């Protein structure tokens, strides 16, 4: 008795799908119209005979019990046999061709496309969040036909060419003989129906272009590049199909005073030299209103005062970043005679009339701060 499992190259516990896959591979390789080597015709017959047995549940069961159903007197295949023309057709043309005949008409209503809209925001909107309204040009359901695509009082008609199936079948010749192929119906474009009287308002589209107002709640913490999804707010699909989505891509405008780094804000506070030396309290306008900045006597240039919780809101998690105030000590450039006299007296009292040149340490000084600034730390 022939070893059909060995012929197909599968194990005895192979599933029906594994057996079918193995057969298709070997059938392509050894079919007489494809293969050129000697013995390919006999090999193709062996492969086909093996699949006739193992591809049929009843015949395979009989074969596993020691009987060869393909041998003379070995028994006939039951009605549930799975081998036939469809297997050969799918082997050489793929399952998609066979499935197309069973596909049926295409739905006329389809989902609309998504839209990407840019949303320009001020920094204050990112700090606290905001409620915005914006105008978009999009597709909406035609109010005249309510998405039916037909003139009011009329309705779609079954296609005379395909009989409502959406596909037409044709006989084509191949090396296997005559085969049936299916393709979308050219008369109805695969829909199975035609629109005899299209809606005059939308020209049979079931939708029209219109300007809509979208409302969006922008959460605190958004930044340039953040995308906000508005589900079902995109354009309506053909024939009144479901609407797509709108994605709002945020672009944050630069602020005149504050610079954002992550969820922290940074600003520069100009302080007179005398105020930095003597110490003072200065009032700073922030997004949270006026805030006092306490400068101790001897405040140095590039000193940073941190105001906790006055930065940008953390996206989705609550809380806020900080506001970092960088001190810029202003050295006077134009002195009158009295001011110059006073400064010279001060220099004399401090022994700084002819100060010695002293280099600062490389770490922790101006150069260290400069490196940190260039590296974004």
Annotated binding site: 142, 145, 159, 162, 185, 188, 199, 202
What's the CA gap between 198 and 154, in Å, rounded? 9
- Determine how β-strand 246-252 pairs with β-strand 115-121: parallel
Query: How far is residue 266 from each of residues 125, 274, 307, 322, measured CA to CA in Å?
Result: 17, 24, 10, 9
Residue ranges of the annotated binding site for Zn(2+) are: 142, 145, 159, 162, 185, 188, 199, 202
Letter string b/e over residues 201-221, b meaning 16 or more CB atoms within 10 A of that residue's CB: bbebbbbbeeeeebebebbbb
> Which residues, in sequence order, are bridge partners of residue 269?
327
Phi, psi for 26 (deg, rounded to 5): -70, -35
Q: Pick from 319, 140, 139, 117: which is nearest to 228 by CA?
A: 117
- Determine how β-strand 264-272 pairs with β-strand 259-261: antiparallel
Three-point CA angle 202, 205, 206, nearest 5°: 80
Measured from the Cβ of residue 10, the count of other Cβ atoms closer than 10 Å reads: 18
What's the CA gap between 139 and 144, in Å, rounded? 14
Q: Mention every residue, 6+ apart, whose C-beta is less than 8 A from residue 356.
A: none
Greatest CA separation for the chain: 130
What's the CA gap between 268 and 213, in Å, rounded? 39
Q: Pick from 73, 132, 127: which is nearest to 287 by CA?
A: 127
What's the CA gap between 261 and 167, in Å, rounded? 59
């Amino acid at each position: 008795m022939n070893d059909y499992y060995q012929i197909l190259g599968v194990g005895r516990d192979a599933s029906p799908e594994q057996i079918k896959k193995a057969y298709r591979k070997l059938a392509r390789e050894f079919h007489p119209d494809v293969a050129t080597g000697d013995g390919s015709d006999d090999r193709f017959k062996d492969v086909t005979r093996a699949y006739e047995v193992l591809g049929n549940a009843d015949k395979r069961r009989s074969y596993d019990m020691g009987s060869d159903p393909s041998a003379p007197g070995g028994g006939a295949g039951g009605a549930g046999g799975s081998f036939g023309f469809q297997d050969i057709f799918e082997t050489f043309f793929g399952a998609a061709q066979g499935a197309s005949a069973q596909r049926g008409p295409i739905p006329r209503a389809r989902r609309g496309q998504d839209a990407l809209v840019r949303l320009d925001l001020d920094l204050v909107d990112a700090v606290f969040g905001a409620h915005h309204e914006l105008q978009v040009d999009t597709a909406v359901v035609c109010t005249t036909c309510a998405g039916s695509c037909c003139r009011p009082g009329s309705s779609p008609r079954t296609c005379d060419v395909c009989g409502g199936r959406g596909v037409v079948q044709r006989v084509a010749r191949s090396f296997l003989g005559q085969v049936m192929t299916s393709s979308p119906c050219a008369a109805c474009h695969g829909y199975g129906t035609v629109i005899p009287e299209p809606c005059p308002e939308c020209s049979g589209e079931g939708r029209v272009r219109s300007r809509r107002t979208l409302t969006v709640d922008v959460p605190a913490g958004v930044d340039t590049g953040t995308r906000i999804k508005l589900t079902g707010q995109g354009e309506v699909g053909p024939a009144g199909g479901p609407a797509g989505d709108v994605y709002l891509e945020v672009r944050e405008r630069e602020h005149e005073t504050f610079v954002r780094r992550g969820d922290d804000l940074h600003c520069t506070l100009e302080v007179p030299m005398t105020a930095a030396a003597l110490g003072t309290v200065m009032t700073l306008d922030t997004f949270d209103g006026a805030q006092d900045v306490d400068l101790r006597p001897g405040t140095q240039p590039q000193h940073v005062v941190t105001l906790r919780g006055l930065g940008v809101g953390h996206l989705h998690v609550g809380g806020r970043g900080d506001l970092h105030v960088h001190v810029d000590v202003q050295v006077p450039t134009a002195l009158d005679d009295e001011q110059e006299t006073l400064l010279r007296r001060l220099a004399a009292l401090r022994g700084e009339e002819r100060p010695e040149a002293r280099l600062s340490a490389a770490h922790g000084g101006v150069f260290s701060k400069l490196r940190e600034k260039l590296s974004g730390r």
